[in-house]
Amino acid sequence: MKAPKHWRRSLIAYVAALTLSVPWYLAQRADRVQPSVSGRVMEVIDGDTIEVSGLGTVRFVGINTPEKGQPGYQEALDFLSKICLGKVVLVDIDDRSPRDTYGRTLGVVYLNGTNVNAELLRRGLAQVLYLPPSEFDPSSWE
C-alpha cells in the first residue's frame, strides 16, 4: 500500500530540512574538540606524547612514562617509535578533560584497534597516572 501524497511530501520536506540543517549544526560545533580523530603520527616526542597530523600534540591520558634521563625512558620512546611513527592512529579524546595545562590533546591512542596506552602499561613501560577528571579508568587496562 502506498503512503498518501501528503505524507510523502512531508517526508521529503523533513529529509530536505535535515539535510540542510546538519552542515549548519556541524559548523556550530567546529570550535569544539571532536570526540575522536585519526591522523598520521609525525613525531614521537617521548614515551607518552606524540605529534599527530591534523590534531597536534597528543598526551596519552591515564599513563605516565619515564622522563628523559630516567631509567626506562629510552625503552618507552623506542617502543612507541617502532609501533606508531608514520602510522595512522585513532585518538579517542577525553570528553571530561580534552586538553592539559600545556594545551596538548589528552586521549587514548589506538593503532589497528589496539589501545596503545594500555599496551605501554602491559609491557611495563608506563605506570597508571590519575589526573582527574577523566572519562577513562586506566586501572581497567591492566
Helix (H) or strand (E) holding 40: strand 36-46
The dotted CATH code for 36-141 is 2.40.50.90
Using one digit for the tens of pLDDT, what is the confidence trace for 70-96?
Answer: 999 999 999 999 999 999 999 999 999
**Is the link from the previous residue into 132 a cis peptide, with omega within 30 of 0?**
no
Using one digit for the tens of pLDDT, what is the confidence trace for 116-125?
Answer: 999 999 999 9
**Residues forming a β-bridge with 37:** 91
Catalytic residue, candidates 8, 67, 96, 123: 67
Domain range summary for the chain, segments of one domain joined by +: 1-32, 36-141
Longest alpha-carbon distance in the chain: 75
Residue scoring higher pLDDT (139 or 66): 66
Q: What is the pLDDT of residue 119?
A: 97
Q: What is the pLDDT of residue 6?
A: 63
Using one digit for the tens of pLDDT, what is the confidence trace for 17-66?
Answer: 555 444 444 444 444 445 799 999 999 999 999 999 999 999 999 999 99
Strands 105-111 and 56-60: parallel
User: The cell 617509535 sits on which residue?
Assistant: 81
> Is 96 among the catalytic positions?
no
Task: List, in order, residues 6 or more apart from 132 with CB less than 8 Å away.
Answer: none
Catalytic residue, candidates 43, 75, 96, 104: 104
Strands 114-115 and 105-111: antiparallel
Q: Which three cell numbers stand for residue 72?
A: 626506562
Q: Are 73 and 47 in contact (CB under 8 A)?
A: yes
**Residues forming a β-bridge with 92:** 36, 108
C-alpha–C-alpha distance, residues 29 and 74, integer Å: 40
